[in-house]
Chains A and B, each alone.
Chain A
Amino acid sequence: MSLLVLTGCSGQLSTLDPSGPAAASIARLWWVMLAGSMVLFVLVMGLFALAWLRPGFGSSVPPQRWVLLGGLALPAVVLIPLVGYGLAAGERLLPLPFMTPPRIEVQAERWRWTFRYPDQGGLATEGVLHLPAGTPVDIVVSSRDVIHSLWIPRLAGKIDVIPGRINTLRLQADAPGRYQGQCAEFCGQEHTRMRFDVVVHAQADYAAALSAVAPRPESKQ
Chain B
Amino acid sequence: MSAQVVPPSRLWLLALGYGIWCSALAMLYALHALGCAFAWPAAVLRTVLALVFLAHLVALGGLWRAYAGRRADAADGATGSFFHEVALWTLATAFVATVLTLGPSLMLAACV
A and B from one complex: yes
Contact of A80 among B100, B105, B109, B112 (CB under 8 A): B100
Number of interface residues of A (CB under 8 A): 9
B109: A residues at CB distance < 8 A: 91, 94, 96
Residues A58-108 near B (CB distance < 8 A): 80, 83-84, 87, 91, 94-97
- Nearest residue in A to B108 (C-beta to C-beta)? A91
Size class of the contact patch on chain B? under 10
Shortest beta-carbon distance, B89 to chain A, in Å?
A: 11
Q: Which of chain B's residues has its CB closest to A168's CB?
A: B112
- Residues of A with C-beta under 8 A to B112: 94-97
User: Is the CB–CB distance between B100 and A87 below 8 Å?
Assistant: no
Chain B residues positioned under 8 Å from A80 (CB to CB): 100
Tally the A-B contacts, defined by beta carbons under 8 Å: 14
Q: Which residues of B contact A83 (CB under 8 A)?
A: 104
Secondary structure of the A contact surface, majority rule: helix
Q: Which of B59-112 contact A (CB under 8 A)?
A: 100, 104-105, 108-109, 112
**A87–B104 Cα gap in the complex (Å)?**
9
Minimum CB distance partner of A95 in chain B: B112
Residues of chain A contacted by B104 (CB below 8 angstroms): 83-84, 87
Complex interface: chain B residues within 8 A of A97 (CB): 112
Q: List the B side residues contacting A87 at CB < 8 Å.
A: 104-105, 108
What is the bound-complex CA distance between A97 and B39, given in angstroms?
Answer: 14
Which chain A residues border B108 with CB–CB below 8 Å? Answer: 87, 91
On chain B, the residues within 8 Å of A96 by CB distance are 109, 112
Residues of A with C-beta under 8 A to B100: 80
A84 to B101, CA, bound (A): 11
Minimum Cβ distance to chain A for residue B85 (Å) = 13
Contact with B along A33-49 (1 / 0, CB 8 A): 00000000000000000
What's the minimum C-beta distance from B71 to chain A, rounded to whole angstroms? 20
Inter-chain contacts of A95 with B (CB < 8 A): 112
Contacts of A91 in B (CB 8 A): 108-109
In whole angstroms, what is the CA distance A97 to B42 when docked? 13
Closest to B101 in A: A83
How distant is B104 from chain A, measured CB to nearest CB, in Å?
6
CA distance A183 to B100 in the complex (A): 35
**C-alpha spacing A96/B108, complex, angstroms:** 11
How long is the Cα–Cα vector from A83 to B101 in the complex, in angstroms? 10
Give CA–CA (A96, B111) in the complex, Å: 9
- Residues from chain B with Cβ under 8 Å of A94 in the complex: 109, 112
5 contacts between A and B (CB under 8 A): A84-B104, A87-B105, A87-B108, A91-B108, A94-B112
Q: Which residues of A contact B (CB under 8 A)?
A: 80, 83-84, 87, 91, 94-97
Closest 5 CB pairs of A and B: A94-B112, A96-B112, A91-B108, A96-B109, A87-B104
Known: A84-B104, A97-B112. 12 other contacts (CB 8 A): A80-B100, A83-B104, A87-B104, A87-B105, A87-B108, A91-B108, A91-B109, A94-B109, A94-B112, A95-B112, A96-B109, A96-B112
